[in-house]
Amino acid sequence: MIKDVIYSIESELKDTWKDEPTGHDWEHIRRVRDMSLHLQKIEGGNRDIIHLGALLHDISDHKFNGGILNANGEAARIWLKKLNCPESISYDVCELVDKISFKGANVEIGELSIETKIIQDADRLDAIGAIGIARAFAFGGNKNRPIYNPSVNPILHDNFEQYAKSKSHTINHFYEKLLLLKSKMQTVEGKKIAETRHAFMENFLKAFYTDWNITSKKND
């Protein structure tokens, strides 16, 4: 029964999201699902809720639904109802999918269930490291953001609306979100994986500034 619901959602997502250009394509969803199921084996939590929550975590994200905040839960509820997903599972899935998304550096988040923590960690692991860097520049390019502008400093947002409206250059996104994620990981296994990916981003930024400064000095 739940297997059919999962299969049906997976098939449609594969189809609809296969060429999504901002780093939120089917392969992102698949990686978050696979990482979530890996974390579940170590950390526990309800496997079906985690599987469905991971598949649906970006279903109506503000970054590509025209700017509507917290719309995932309602979109998930409609879809799960259509597939006759048991209420005992769909209720928790819809509750958690609005909580996953990063809402700003200084935005307080309340106590989360183990299922929410796991999917959030898996989603954040996909935002950092080599793949995270690739996704950030894919997103920035798609939204017409410059790669870098040294005269525009990062902002640590304290509300979701402000964070969602930000149109800064992509290097700032590292300081506004990506480099903050390591210390916000909530599972032991997630923290461990984040260490290596975080170090890779720090090395990338070091190399980026070295290259940037060599070329700008040449014209002094």
Task: Give the footprint of ligand ADP on this chain (CB under 6 A).
Answer: 23-24, 58, 61, 63, 101-102, 123, 127, 132, 135-136, 139-140, 166, 170, 173
Whichever of 45 and 140 has its CB closer to ligand ADP, that residue is: 140
Residue 139, contacted partner among ligand ADP, Ni ion, none, CB below 5-8 A by kind: ligand ADP
Whichever of 58 and 98 has its CB closer to Ni ion, that residue is: 58
Q: Which of residues 111-140 bind Ni ion (CB under 5 A)?
A: 123
Residue 173, contacted partner among Ni ion, ligand ADP, none, CB below 5-8 A by kind: ligand ADP
For every residue of the chain, which 3-state class applies, written as one string?
CHHHHHHHHHHHHHHHCCCCCCCCCHHHHHHHHHHHHHHHHHHCCCHHHHHHHHHHCCCCCCCCCCCCCCCHHHHHHHHHHHCCCCHHHHHHHHHHHCCCCCCCCCCCCCCCCHHHHHHHHHHHHCCCHHHHHHHHHHHHHHCCCCCCCCCCCCCCCCCHHHHHHCCCCHHHHHHHCHHHCHHHCCCHHHHHHHHHHHHHHHHHHHHHHHHHHHHHHHCC
Smallest gap from residue 67 Cβ to Ni ion (A): 17
Q: Of the candidates 58, 92, 176, 189, which one interacts with Ni ion according to CB under 5 A?
A: 58
